[in-house]
Amino acid sequence: MDRPVLIAGAGPVGLTMAMALKRQGVALRIIDKAAARSDKSKALVLWPRTLEMLDIQGCVQPFIETGMKATGVRILDRHHTLVHVRLDAARSRFPYALMLPQSDTERLLEEQLALLGVHVERHVELVSFTDNKDIATAALRHADGSEENTDYSYLAACDGAHSTIRHGLAVQFDGDTLPSDWLLADVELDGDLPNDELTICWTPDGVLALIPIRGARFRVIADLGHASAQNASAPTLVEVQSLLDERGPTRLSAHDPVWTSRFRINERKVNDYRHGRIFLCGDAAHIHSPAGGQGMNTGMQDVINLAWKLAMVWHGRASSELLESYSPERSAIGEQVLRNAGTMTKVAIVRNPILQEIRNLAVGALGRISALRQILVDQLTEVDLHYHHSPLTRMLPSASPKPAPGERAPDLPVNHTDSGATRLHEVLADGKFALLSVSAPTIKLPDALKAIATTTGTVATDDYRAGYIYLIRPDAYVAMSTKTENRDLLLAELQAMVGTA
């Protein structure tokens, strides 16, 4: 296929998509209607699973060097700790929440993209498009008012919550706007507050979240209850201070605000993420409560899921049927994130004093059970995300129960003689499936599969069992596994999965 992919929107999702496609040699254009990158700090957290994805893309280091590592989350009943989870219990090479304002995440992604020779075309707006079955055509408007019509192999709609492409497709964005108002303020805080932990206070008057950004700078988020008419004015420092006085865990003094805003929570999602040659990604496909901080992370993982499939199809190495798994896989994750974030928000904003009492007692008791705390850590850090019900997940005879088909493939040391890579996630950097033999001889690949797969070996660990072969997808999920003697069956399934291009 020689026509480029068009990526509409250069937010974190579009930039990640461009980087992942370009690394696989796919021709592309990335446009944004805005004249400049946004300077808003919006999403503050990169979770371990997203860091693992950036690691696979070979570019995690600048993010880690720029961000700040938060190692815990505390939920307080004003002064008493109800739950304290340690993120250093995360089952990942990156056992922390990396605090990084979205403006920095976008800057670093754009720098990575520039290193690959791709530049965002700014002040270029997608105004309309058609999907002509064999090609997609988009009309783009430039800063000087001129328009161009060009053909593309595929369109990636990374154009945010108000997506022009989603509107053009006339697909439903089902869900609700919650009726409570919220305040957000990025300020400097003086007082006794750890700056390597997220502090969430559940008080009788509402929730107050204090999220560290860097040094003494924190994001303050508070729910303001049901407002009769939406107040359009930006929150003042006086309003922020009075919320801190009423709800804060200790005496805190706010100063030097850099961004204050009000927002309402939208919980919406499309059903289908794919419409012919058009893919909806990130906020164009799903928006939810900021509780859990997973909107941007989910969007970045949407396109990591899509990019390797699109690259294989674009190069003619896999049949276009491979692309059919994008929507069911990511829609299921979108639903899960929506549900979890919605539940967390509803639990946090309970106003009835009796329900508050029951909630605090229950959460305090559950928070003392270490296995439940680990479940919470796994959920927050997104290492529990899975594709159990994906069309790409196959249950072969004698499949290994750990990691099971559809589950995340944890990183581990490997011996990859072809590339010299020493870790599984490094092996995945070339965008191929990895056939991982554990405490068994590595497999010999038939020539027909060499363009899409590579083989490597390792020894058994707590995560991977001896005597099994695991087929690891380029986005570090297990597609299938079996005992080494069934290798021919696994290879036949892999061939069937990618089809005949």
Ligand X SMILES: Cc1cc2nc3c(=O)[nH]c(=O)nc-3n(C[C@H](O)[C@H](O)[C@H](O)COP(=O)(O)OP(=O)(O)OC[C@H]3O[C@@H](n4cnc5c(N)ncnc54)[C@H](O)[C@@H]3O)c2cc1C
Comparing CB distances to ligand X, the nearer of 118 and 498 is: 118
Strands, sheet with 136-141, edge to edge from the N-terminal-most edge strand: 125-131, 136-141, 147-152
H-helix segments, 382-472: 424-427
Report CA-CA distances (Å) from 332 to 67, 276, 302, 385, 387: 30, 19, 11, 10, 8
105 binds ligand X per the rule CB under 6 A: no
Comparing CB distances to ligand X, the nearer of 174 and 418 is: 174
234 binds ligand X per the rule CB under 6 A: no
296 binds ligand X per the rule CB under 6 A: yes
Among 27, 64, 93, 125, binds ligand X (CB under 6 A): 125
Per CB under 6 A, the segment of 157-165, 308-316, 334-342, 351-359 that binds ligand X is 157-165
Comparing CB distances to ligand X, the nearer of 12 and 206 is: 12
In whole angstroms, give the CA distance from residue 477 to residue 473.
Answer: 5
Name the residue number minimizing CB distance to ligand X: 11
345 binds ligand X per the rule CB under 6 A: no
Burial code (b: 16+ CB inside 10 Å, e: under 16) for 284-313 equals bbbbbbbbbbbbbbbbbbbbbbbbbbbbbb
Comparing CB distances to ligand X, the nearer of 13 and 414 is: 13
Least distance to ligand X from the beta carbon of 292, Å? 8
The sign of the torsion formed by the CA atoms of 418, 420, 424, 426 equals negative
Comparing CB distances to ligand X, the nearer of 185 and 452 is: 185
32 binds ligand X per the rule CB under 6 A: yes
Per CB under 6 A, the segment of 91-99, 247-255, 282-290, 321-329 that binds ligand X is 282-290
In whole angstroms, give the CA distance from residue 430 to residue 57.
Answer: 9
What lies within 8 Å, CB to CB, of 308 at 6+ separation is: 20, 24, 431, 473, 474, 475
Interactions with ligand X, residue window 9-28 (CB under 6 A): 9-14
Among 199, 260, 297, 360, binds ligand X (CB under 6 A): 297
Comparing CB distances to ligand X, the nearer of 31 and 70 is: 31
Among 101, 212, 290, 405, binds ligand X (CB under 6 A): 290
In whole angstroms, give the CA distance from residue 333 to residue 377.
Answer: 17
DSSP structure string for 278-338: EEE-GGGTEE--STTS-HHHHHHHHHHHHHHHHHHHHTTSS-GGGGGGHHHHHHHHHHHHH
Among 206, 248, 249, 295, binds ligand X (CB under 6 A): 295
Comparing CB distances to ligand X, the nearer of 47 and 468 is: 47
Binding site for ligand X (CB under 6 A): 8-14, 31-34, 42-45, 102, 125-126, 158-161, 164, 184, 263, 282-283, 290, 293-297, 299
